[in-house]
Amino acid sequence: MLNLADTPPPVATSEVESRELIAADLRLLIAQIETSMRRIAAAMDQEHAGDPESSSDVFILDDVTPRYASASAALAACRAGLRQALQCLSESGSAM
């Protein structure tokens, strides 16, 4: 996993280049969040794959499902915020 805390401070760049770098970072974060959301969904599916009662009409809520659902909801909120940030950056004068 990439550790951005060890990243040296960026050198002076133009305003446009700076916006492009920020937009690239935001897109990377969005992609990482979406990957995590897919992993959570797969883990939830795997948890219930062996259940004999498992069907499209039956939902089993155990002690793990609420945590997965909460984590997924939190990630969805983060993704929405990052998309909003990307949109605001795009509206600030750069066609991304």
Choice between 9 and 23, residue whose per-residue pLDDT is larger: 23
**Six-digit token string for 73:** 């909801």
User: Taking the complete model, does pTM exceed 0.75, yes or no?
Assistant: no
Residue 11 forms part of a structural domain: no
Q: Are 76 and 16 in contact, with CB atoms under 8 Å apart?
A: no
Residue 7 forms part of a structural domain: no
Residue 75 forms part of a structural domain: yes
- The count of structural domains within the chain is 1
In whole angstroms, what is the distance from residue 18 CA to residue 96 CA?
A: 12
Q: What is the pLDDT of residues 53-88, one digit of tens each?
A: 555 666 665 666 788 889 999 999 999 999 999 999
The one-letter amino acid code at 48 reads H
Provide the pLDDT confidence category of residue 92 given band limits of 50, 70 and 90. confident
Residues spanned by the domain of 30: 21-49+65-96
pLDDT, position 23? 95
DSSP codes, the chain: ---GGGSPPPPP--HHHHHHHHHHHHHHHHHHHHHHHHHHHHHHHHHHHT-TT-BTTB----SSHHHHHHHHHHHHHHHHHHHHHHHHHHHTT---
Residue 4 forms part of a structural domain: no
